[in-house]
Structure 1
Amino acid sequence: MPAVIEVRNLHKRYGPHVAVDDVSFAVEQGEIFGILGPNGAGKTTTVECVEGLRTPDRGEIDVLGLDPRRDRAELTQRLGVQLQDGQLPDRLRVGEALRLYGSFYRRPADPAALADALGLAGAQRTPYAALSGGQKQRLSIALALIGSPEVAVLDELTTGLDPQARRDTWDLIQDVRARGVTILLVTHFMAEAERLCDRVAVIDGGRVVALDSPAALAERVQGGQRIRFRPSVPFEDALLTDLPDVTGLTRQGDVVVVTGTDNALGAVTSVLARHDIAADHLRVEQAGLEDAFVALTGGDEKTRRRRTP
């Protein structure tokens, strides 16, 4: 598939702070491409350079064959953007917002049809202030699509939504891609990236530290298991951490989380049984994108701050 976005050696500095340091990636036509990273990693700055909202210090960006700064007027007609902190006047009604934004474009989508497709048909006369969080997110997506864009950039799409609204929004994004729109998705939710993205670029400290499909990134993590359970009686960590097949143990309230090799489950349950400890609500998980993300970005927030320029 041809690339619709190409970023080569992008660099952006704010005073002494390097926000983006030699970032390169390409987004293929028709895919959902994710940009992941901890807070302050450079995700939003990278995307703002792609959108033409910021000027990079050096590097090259090509979006649909256009330079985002030189050809910004033309790119605006072909690129839809859902901003991380977008707000509208409280009294502006949904239908009014769609018609207003549609007037900015050469070939706007039909506002009524778009509202119907995005589940806003019954809210067209509703003021922005009266919308639920999920409805506001649907409206922000509708405004990004009202110009019939070829590419849509969605930044922190589901932040602040409840679990059901988040899942509804994920279904909506898959429908948008089915309409032929290429999507660049900025997120820090691993489940969101696993559910939606064909490929992801993980950015940490302003650099791309990995680029692959979510499944392939998960496979990079050393094979093994994560075992969660509630012990029937207290025990010392060393009972399990001394086992050769166990690589780590953490506690989350009264839940014990053990990580280890593919043989860890048998080793852990055998030791617990010998000590008359029942493992209640036991659950075994395989490594996923979140494990890869932690391994790639250094784990905890303190470590990430040390690695960020």
Structure 2
Amino acid sequence: MHKIVFLDRATLAPQIRLRVPSFAHEWIEYDRTTPDQVAERLAGATIAITNKVALPGEVLKMLPNLTLVAVAATGTDCVDKAVCRQIGIVVSNIRGYAANTVPEHAFALMLALRRNLIAYREDVLAGEWQKSGQFCFFNHTIRDLADARLGIIGEGVLGQRVAEIGKAFGMVPMFAAHKGRTGQGGLYTPWEDVLATSDVITLHSPLTERTRNMLALPEFRAMARRPLIINTGRGGLVDEADLVTALDEGLVSGAGFDVADGEPPSMDSPLMRVASRHNVIVTPHVAWASNEAQQTLADQLIGNIEWFVEGAPVNVV
């Protein structure tokens, strides 16, 4: 009989239903698990479920019964996959569940920032409308999305969906060629051209050693059109200290971030120090979290586990 341990059940909303697996099992779940609790809680487990709890190699080697790590997310950087391959642990992830929710959140950030909704709402609450003496006022610039050039970093399911929505708004989507690489084909616009010509740059890449801090001060200084920077991917894709410098120097016109380099970020982190500015919106890593997307994720998670137990693992990374 399999022993299944979910290390961080609270990373799914309480209203999301987890279907009971179709095989004999023991199910144990914890809302949260700290690093020093992982080995003890997974002792004797054959299947571990984690969303963001890290499973480093030294801990995995202490778990001889573990056969599957089912990641309740797409990103698997929390798991030492090299050690898993070495000792025969299968790692699966969730795919395709966020094709609507993440792009919609990205566009919510774009629209709010391009139209200065946060600043105008604060003005209304402060009585500026009444002070204006007329039917409207123009304290903040408003820009349309139509005809804006949309630089997309990451050409997977999410990037493709962002391009579709961008076209519906009348934007001009461009998929950025991978940084430092050439000759990738007609789908891509050269990296340097995307930096130089975009009005909005949105990130949808995984976090790897190659992509960490892919946007830093040299890139910001190459952004001739002062674009918005939208990040619903991973916090480490952007050097946050350099982002603050770019905002201070007017190299970018604003930032909409749903992720941070370290979550939750400390209140004195670079991102949080600018979070109250009118041209910055920070949301708490919830772009993925519509009810519809979370339920799809939960159903796929149990499906991944069932297929593994059947001997036909799917979504293996």
TM-score normalised over the length of structure 1: 0.27
Higher-strand-fraction structure: 1
Task: Look at both structures and tell me which one has the larger radius of gyration over its CA atoms.
Answer: 1
Q: Which has the higher contact order (CA 8 A, sep 6+)?
A: 1
TM-score norm. by structure 2 comes to: 0.27
